[in-house]
Structure 1
Amino acid sequence: MTSKTADVWLPFPAEEIKGLPDRYRYRHWDGEEEFPADPAACVFYVTPYMKSPAVTVRPLAHMPEVRAVQTLTAGIDHVLGGLDVLRPGVHLCNARGVHEASTAELALTLVLASLRGIPGMVRGQDREEWRSGFYEALADKSVLIVGYGSIGAAIEDRLAPFECARITRVARSARTAARGPVHALADLPGLLPGADVVILSTPLTEETRGLADAGFLARMRDGALLVNVARGPVVDTDALLAELDAGRLRAALDVTDPEPLLPGHPLWHARNVLITPHVGGSSSAFEPRAKRLVARQLSALAAGEPLSNTVLTTK
């Protein structure tokens, strides 16, 4: 296709993205009620960022010519429910390479803030209280990273200078990574009791939904910290609340189930919990990386080359 008869839908204005091939018509759509053009002409759909699944998948039923759906998130769970309307052969691509830096930064922030008692100090500042004393350090702690993909590896990169006693890696299946062995999920029962900090960075799948359930949490050592920068449903909220209210575990959560938390939800006021509103990827690092990914993908499409980050192809 050499003439500009094919559309590409972008959540950014095309003029803000350097390196876009000139063979496509670019339509700006970020989830508004009205579509920017006839979806039937779209061949490449970049989904809006941080919009609901209903908004994200709404155009798909009207895109018979789409060849690829590009998310701007590492996870793809929010679009899976809309793929059954697509013809066979459509590529679903995620945003691997976009969120690693930002999410890993937040994971480290949550660990340090929780161990050092920063939330209590902020409350103390509001009350003009001088909360001196001894607080926990990350140094000499054993850390377990559950979900050792690109984000999990980026988290370890940032933990490396902090003199942790041990960093243990877990992924869906066992393998060897650049920094050492990676255990399988099946090994978790034996690994959890040895960790001071457990960081969840796994995608949400049927295998990981409810992974951190009552049994998982019970195996964590007394006083351990659970950090979730994955997806809310990876953790059983009721089971976590029971452990928090008992004072046995601590938690730092960038994601929750339900999400967003409604006013009055008991998780807001549970003991020893730090909550951030799903901002792991929402930093100044997001847009430049997202735009570079989009430009690379569209250049590949225009050249007839394979797309990167394909996580599944419709059948």
Structure 2
Amino acid sequence: MAPAQTPAPADPQVPLSELRVVSLPEQELLDHVAARVPGFRYVLWDMVGEPVGARADEIDVAVAPYFGGPWLRALPSASRLRLVQLQSTGFDGVPAAIGPDLALTTAGWVHAAGTAELALGLMIAAQREIDRAVLQQHAGVYRRFSTRTLADSRVLVLGVGEIGSAVVDRLVPFEVETTRVASRARTDDRGRVHGVDELPELLPRTDVLVVALPSSGGTDGLVDAALLSRLPDDALVVNVGRGRVVDTAALTDEVVSGRLRCALDVVEPEPLPADHPLYRAPGAIVTPHTGGSCTSYEPRVRRLLVEQLTRLAAGERPLFLQQEGRLAFPPEPA
């Protein structure tokens, strides 16, 4: 009998102390971070062209550009890379693209304020029919009309992460009844969080449904025709999470029929085709994924990157760690 094969040893973990070279995609961002977190060698790399100040195969930590995915094609040249830091909160598709050996961190709260602010703006715009007033204005028409209000509405926020929690914070002074829903039921310092399995019972008592969920195998298509049918007539669906969480065809049918209304910053597909019915349907507002594209983004992402690199330099776990790769992070605090 042939001897049993000895399994190949797993690749050893890499100590955080071996992270020395950090790339950033913009000069202003590099200057800001380098002035505040000494101890690293900083290089300029947009992950499209060649790095400035080092070779790609010398870089340990790469901050990815905010927009677009072409940077993923640069990864094979960065053979020493250990960690990728995103400037976005969403990371759908990235773990599969970068593989299990790289650590991945996201932007967490960087976009929470801007996106929550837009969610509130969409709710107010839809309830008070500001879009109707703007169309009248452009037509040179001054005609008064009565509208719904956000006050006294029953608002269900689906998703209690950074963005969903920021939406709930901003709803407090608006005199609404707020219900929070997450993947599982629990109680936290704000009170009760319902589980998604309770949605069929909660939606009939909902005037405004705010979707603030990321895209994942468990969330894509969650808000389908069956759940939408549970909403009462004239309810408003606001999506500032990911377009794939809501069944676009089912929502379109409900809105075009006039039974539901919607205010969407994210859609699936993105962008919608130019002839898509939602662009012209009464009761629909579509904004071009502008939740995080605002003036609060730059100072907040700078603050986050300083915090992340300060933590790495001290041998600590970074914030918003989605996968550890082969880095030897200390265990999470109990």
Structures share fold, TM-score greater than 0.5: yes
The answer for the alignment partner of 1:72 in structure 2 is 87
Deviation at 1:212, TM superposition (A): 1.3
Q: Structure 1 residues 121-130 or 30-39, which shifts more?
A: 30-39
Q: Distance in 2 between matches of 1:229 and 1:221?
A: 21
The answer for the alignment partner of 1:7 in structure 2 is 21
Q: Which amino acid is the alignment partner of residue 151 of structure 1?
A: I
Contact 2:21 2:42 in 1 (8 A): yes
* 1:264 pairs with 2:275: yes
Query: What SS does the aligned partner of 2:290 have?
Result: coil
The answer for the alignment partner of 1:122 in structure 2 is 134
- Number of aligned residues: 309
Deviation per residue, 1:262-297 (Å, 9 max, x gap): 322332222311011101111111011101111111
Q: Structure 1 residues 100-109 or 259-268, which shifts more?
A: 259-268
Structure 2 length as normaliser, TM-score?
0.87
* 1:99 pairs with 2:89: no
Contact 1:254 1:275 in 2 (8 A): yes
Deviation at 1:34, TM superposition (A): 4.5
Q: Distance in 2 between matches of 1:5 and 1:102?
A: 32
Change (3 A) 1:270 1:133: closer
Q: Distance in 1 between matches of 2:46 and 2:171?
A: 35
Which ranges of structure 2 fall in alignment gaps of 5 or more residues?
1-14, 327-334
Contact 1:145 1:170 in 2 (8 A): yes
Which of 18, 33, 42 is the aligned partner of 2:59?
Answer: 42
Q: Which runs of at least 4 in structure 1 moved beyond 6 Å after TM superposition?
A: none
The correspondence of residues 1-315 of structure 1 with structure 2, limited to 5 A, is 6-13=20-27, 14-17=30-33, 19-36=35-52, 37-52=54-69, 55-84=70-99, 87=101, 90-164=102-176, 166-314=177-325
Deviation per residue, 1:132-164 (Å, 9 max, x gap): 121111111000000111211110110000111
Q: Structure 1 residues 257-266 or 149-158, which shifts more?
A: 257-266
Contact 1:72 1:94 in 2 (8 A): yes
Q: Which amino acid is the alignment partner of residue 83 of structure 2?
A: A
Deviation at 1:209, TM superposition (A): 0.3
Contact 1:4 1:24 in 2 (8 A): no
Query: What SS does the aligned partner of 1:280 have?
Result: coil
- Could you tell me the percent identity over the aligned residues? 42
Deviation at 1:125, TM superposition (A): 0.2
Q: Distance in 2 between matches of 1:59 and 1:240?
A: 38
Change (3 A) 1:250 1:18: farther
Contact 1:31 1:51 in 2 (8 A): no
Change (3 A) 1:169 1:290: same
Change (3 A) 1:156 1:18: farther
Contact 1:56 1:79 in 2 (8 A): no
RMSD over aligned Cα, in angstroms? 2.2
Change (3 A) 1:263 1:27: farther
Query: What SS does the aligned partner of 1:99 have?
Result: helix
Structure 1 length as normaliser, TM-score?
0.92
Q: Which amino acid is the alignment partner of residue 74 of structure 1?
A: T
Deviation at 1:19, TM superposition (A): 4.7
Query: What SS does the aligned partner of 1:170 have?
Result: strand
Change (3 A) 1:255 1:189: same
Contact 1:60 1:82 in 2 (8 A): no
Which is greater in Rg? 2
Contact 2:48 2:74 in 1 (8 A): no
